[in-house]
Structure 1
Amino acid sequence: MDLVLEKVNGQPAHLPVELRRCGPEDLDAMEQLQREVHAGMPHPEQFVPDTRDQLAACMADGVCVGVWDGETLGAYFTLRCMGSSPENYAAFMGLPPAEWPRWANADSVVVCAAWRGNGLQRTMARAACGWLPEGIVGLGATVSPDNAYSLRNALAEGFEIVCRRPMYGGFDRYLLRKIL
């Protein structure tokens, strides 16, 4: 899918980019972008980076979409179908185990600083949901209560806060859900 970024580094622009599904050949670019974004965060505790294995699992068990300027990855979004795994956010929402396979985890959203402000998080989420397997009825997600930008985007995209709890080894997070 072709897109146009209206802003680059906060300045008016007209940058054509491409949104497409990511595959294993894109793992190096995803890891690099994740490192760059994490290193530039004023509060890095707001984002728990994925391992290469976790990113590969998102591709195998779900959907990963990226936004590319030629060969350069500037943003990506991952959804993972966790099935009956206790890591499925449906488990933390108190849903019965029989319902877990019908839910997917919205795991990571990474956008390079220069491309922020273009609505990429919402655009990627909508595209990724279109590639989910049949039978998925909802999404779970987490966000740091201090990450106002991501929280605002998630709420605007139809997520609602379920609860606030420690996750990922004690990090303070909102647990969110969205019915599809």
Structure 2
Amino acid sequence: MNIEIKKADYQDIGAITHLNKEASKYLEDPSWFCMDEPDFITRHIDREGFILKASDNQTLAGFLIVRFPNQSEDNLGGYLNLTKEQMIHAAHMKTVVISKDYQGKKLQLKLMEAAEEILKETPYQYFFATVHPDNQYSLNNFIRLNYSIITTVKKYGGLDRHILYKHQL
């Protein structure tokens, strides 16, 4: 296995969309995952955030969508009562998908670490994510990276989600 992590580009949209669709088929509980639409993926290649991909030679092993919500209504900074100025510095670790063939190799953790490394060079310093309370694998990865649960709410059409937060200076 020779995993390389780098930013995705428009040529990767098809593979990312395919892996995104496959993800819900092999989860222990499908309510743990909310699939992103292809247009959402496309917007996050370089406009509303970025996407990191983990590749093993030419095979997409996983990806992470990092979203810059700015002052949009879905900015999770509202759960911490961030000011408008602070909200524009919020980044969401929005979607992480690891191919079934590559699970158990710490790729989710590596993708998130790589994203945080990229974000160190930007004004984004308030990191948020949502995780289903029963998805211990994802939750433990965020906790390993010093994220804290700030609340648990219904999101995505009534699904339980922990809201996680980390402040990077």
TM-score higher than 0.5: yes
* Structure 2 residue 124 is matched with structure 1 residue 136: yes
Deviation of 1:164 after TM superposition, in Å, equals: 0.4
Secondary structure, counterpart of 1:131 in structure 2: helix
Q: How many residues in Structure 1 have an aligned counterpart in Structure 2? A: 166
C-alpha separation between the residues in 1 aligned to 2:148 and 2:53?
25
1:39 partner letter? K
Residue 7 of structure 1 corresponds to which residue in structure 2? none
User: Which deviations, in whole Å up to 9, do the C-alpha atoms of 1:88-108 show, x marking residues without a partner?
Assistant: 111233222221001111101
Structure 1, unpaired ranges of 5+: 1-14
Please give the per-residue CA displacement for 1:120-145, whole angstroms capped at 9, x wherever unaligned: 11111111123236211110100000
Secondary structure, aligned partner of 2:44: helix
The structure that is strand-richer by fraction is 1
Of the candidates 4, 21, 26, which is equivalent to residue 40 of structure 1?
Answer: 26
What does residue 4 of structure 1 align with? Answer: none
TM-score by length of 1: 0.87
Counterpart in 2 of 1:162? Answer: 150
Quick one: distance in 2 between partners of 1:40 and 1:75?
A: 14
- The CA distance in 1 between the partners of 2:28 and 2:143, in whole Å, is 23
Q: Percent identity?
A: 27
The aligned residue for residue 8 of structure 1 is none
* Aligned-residue RMSD, C-alpha: 1.3
TM-score after normalising by structure 2: 0.92
**What is the CA–CA distance in structure 1 between the aligned matches of 2:83 and 2:3, rounded to whole Å?**
41
